[in-house]
Structure 1
Amino acid sequence: MATTRSVAAGLRLLQRLTKLLRSQAVLLILLSLAVFASLRYETFLTPLNLMNIMRQNSMLSLVALGMTMVILSGGIDLSVGSLVALGGVIAAMFSGQGSFVAIACAIASTTILGIVNGLLVSQARLQPFVVTLFTASAARGLALSITQERSIALSPTASGLIWLGRGFIGWVPVPVVIVALLYFAAWFMLHRSRLGLHIFAVGNNEEASRLMGVNPNRVKLAVYTFSGLLSGLAGVVLAGRLGAGQPVAAIGWETDAIAATVMGGTFLSGGEGSVFPTLIGVLLLGMMYNLLNLEGTITPWWQLVLRGALLLLVVLFQQRIAQKL
């Protein structure tokens, strides 16, 4: 009897370890890459370099958080990069009216476009790929049109806006604090609230969730609105960091956000995943960029090639772990 209990306890422990390894595969890859980098580059583990990695990737972290919510519900949002650019441009345009007005106008504009995405997907029954591709084109064109294809410098009076991008709370950059707070809030919402349960339910099976009393249309509207809001916030932070709103900013961020989400273990089909693994995926992307820059002998074009190859290897490795476990 004691032997049977010991075997059962051992099996339960093995199952827990297996589940932990499967869910934390991207974290293991991140730690392995960090060990390699610390051995190869003396400056990698310096506080300044590590803080720069977190600060430089804080804007993408916000975009990836919104993307994770959308993908969990079974959708996709290709407009996030263009919304970041539009949010930054609008913040710069209104910066002369004060930081509060600039931030509010920027976030409100991208949130409205997020609502448009949600309504077209949920009410008009259009494919998310088509809807958000249209919004991406429209938002980018609008940003280029209102700026006449030029960057708009922030007004020196918008000190609060500049603080969001460049300021510190103690020794921690403000963007890093914003990311930490929003990721904890999003995790709590996903795993401790009714809306979170509904997002997972719709992503798993929309028709089944409807039969259980869930309103998929409200869920879709909520996640696309949230994605638009976070894209606007990322645009505001980016404008504060750069000191200007740039209509060509954040090109390709939608693919980076999707890559970070997938590397974090969120299924593109929806219904399974979480937010903190997405954050680890963003940090992994940032670390890849950092290592290629520290190497110093690789041209920017080959950096893109190598980065794409590394991303593919990471995803393949994670899938193999999931299949074997």
Structure 2
Amino acid sequence: MTATTSPPTNSDPGTPATTRGALLAGLAQRQGAAVVLVLGVVVAWFSFPRFGSADNLRDLALQSSFLAVIALGMTFVIISGGIDLSVGSVYALGGVLAAYGSQWGVLGALVLPLAVCSLIGLINGVLIARTGMAPFIVTLASLLFARGLLLAITTEGSTTYQIRPDSAFLQLGRGTIFGIGVPVYVTLILFALGGVLLRRTRFGQSVFAIGGAENSALLMGLPVARTKISVYTLSGLLAGFAGAMTAAYLQSGVTVLGVGTELDAIAVVVIGGTLLTGGAGTIIGTLVGVLLRTVIQNVINQIGTLDSNYQSVVSGAFLLVVVVIQRLLARARR
């Protein structure tokens, strides 16, 4: 007697269809913000004819680049278990210092804001790491200090510090390559470097370890204090650089710039999947969070009929819904 076997049916768990379904479900659970971003872009693309135009897409990328650079530094800080409330004021300070330094050429427009803003971040890190002070208090004090400093260095309380129209420094913000703004390329390069730094270096692994369990990191012999100082210095550096790029784009340093930007940066980082308690997060997730926020703002502007007083309410409520959906997806995955 010979035994016969029947071919596997489509209900078997190992079939390609089932595997694809599991992969898609896992992707949705891990990348909730990315799924919402794709859905939002698809809906906006077919609902608003101008949304999909080349000019609007270029504007979306350019608008995202400035906040993305600030959020990149914030990602490192939050993964390490900290918070940086000073980035909005440091961002504005960087713009004013870049405009002031542009009278000495491109070098002066870049070195001055990067040096001062990095110093502010360094002081934040030293106070937090060496004295044990709460990051909230230290960076709040830096927020006030940076805002006061930029007002003090402007002439007679002026709200702007103009850059000469013929300054080569303006190419950093207004230059284009293949029709796309230079800030977009700079942001992509910084995010690529940030991803390598966070995932492929000992420093990045220390950031995760400190955010996950600082006491355990100390027992493992990791350089906790040095790592904390480094992440806050990096945050100040990137915020200052974003300010310099913005000044080059606006052709001036604006003192009222950056009010509330620290909250936007924290929001997009959290939307991207980084835990506020530290120890988990991704660079690509932060980029998704920035793009999602920009798309929401763009859609609200294209609706046009919504009163400007309620635009922030709608934007904030939508971002809250995104975070809730992401948390539910992550819980379902666990």
Kindly indicate whether the alpha-carbon contact (under 8 Å) linking 1:80 and 1:254 is maintained by their aligned counterparts in 2.
yes
1:17: Cα distance to partner? 4.8
Cα distance in 2 for partners of 1:107, 1:68 equals 19
Q: 1:311 aligns with which of 312, 319, 327?
A: 319
**CA shift digits 1:81-120 (9 cap, x unpaired):** 0001000001111211111111110111100000001001
Q: Which amino acid aligns with 2:161?
A: I
The answer for the alignment partner of 1:89 in structure 2 is: 96
TM-score, normalising length from structure 1?
A: 0.95
Kindly indicate whether the alpha-carbon contact (under 8 Å) linking 2:29 and 2:332 is maintained by their aligned counterparts in 1.
no
The answer for the alignment partner of 1:40 in structure 2 is: 47
The answer for the alignment partner of 1:50 in structure 2 is: 57
Larger radius of gyration: 2
- Kindly report which structure 2 residues correspond to 1:87-126, keeping only aligned pairs within 5 A, or say none: 87-126=94-133
**CA shift digits 1:4-60 (9 cap, x unpaired):** xx7579898777555432221101100111111112100101111011011012110
Structure 1 regions of 5+ residues with no counterpart? none
What is the root-mean-square deviation of aligned Cα atoms in Å? Answer: 1.8
The answer for the alignment partner of 2:232 in structure 1 is: 224
Kindly indicate whether the alpha-carbon contact (under 8 Å) linking 1:113 and 1:228 is maintained by their aligned counterparts in 2.
yes
Cα distance in 1 for partners of 2:28, 2:227 equals 31
Pair 194,38 (structure 1): closer, same or farther in 2 beyond 3 Å: same
Structure 2 regions of 5+ residues with no counterpart? 1-6
3-state SS in 1 of match to 2:226: helix
- Kindly report which structure 2 residues correspond to 1:227-266, keeping only aligned pairs within 5 A, or say none: 227-266=235-274
3-state SS in 2 of match to 1:57: helix
The answer for the alignment partner of 1:61 in structure 2 is: 68
Q: Are 1:174 and 2:182 matched, yes or no? A: yes
- Kindly report which structure 2 residues correspond to 1:8-23, keeping only aligned pairs within 5 A, or say none: 17-23=24-30
The answer for the alignment partner of 1:198 in structure 2 is: 206
3-state SS in 2 of match to 1:245: strand
3-state SS in 2 of match to 1:94: helix
Kindly indicate whether the alpha-carbon contact (under 8 Å) linking 2:92 and 2:254 is maintained by their aligned counterparts in 1.
yes
TM-score, normalising length from structure 2?
A: 0.92
Kindly indicate whether the alpha-carbon contact (under 8 Å) linking 1:144 and 1:248 is maintained by their aligned counterparts in 2.
no
Q: Which amino acid aligns with 1:308?
A: G
Kindly indicate whether the alpha-carbon contact (under 8 Å) linking 1:85 and 1:246 is maintained by their aligned counterparts in 2.
yes
The answer for the alignment partner of 1:210 in structure 2 is: 218
Kindly indicate whether the alpha-carbon contact (under 8 Å) linking 1:95 and 1:157 is maintained by their aligned counterparts in 2.
no
The answer for the alignment partner of 1:284 in structure 2 is: 292
Equivalent residue pairs, number: 321
Pair 36,16 (structure 1): closer, same or farther in 2 beyond 3 Å: closer
3-state SS in 2 of match to 1:78: coil
Q: Are 1:321 and 2:329 matched, yes or no? A: yes
Q: Are 1:299 and 2:307 matched, yes or no? A: yes
Q: 1:150 aligns with which of 159, 170, 175?
A: 159
Cα distance in 1 for partners of 2:149, 2:303 equals 38
Q: Which amino acid aligns with 1:29?
A: V
Q: Which amino acid aligns with 2:101?
A: F
Q: 1:135 aligns with which of 129, 139, 142?
A: 142
Cα distance in 1 for partners of 2:118, 2:22 equals 42
The answer for the alignment partner of 2:3 in structure 1 is: none
3-state SS in 1 of match to 2:73: helix
Percent of aligned pairs with the same residue?
40
Q: Are 1:268 and 2:269 matched, yes or no? A: no
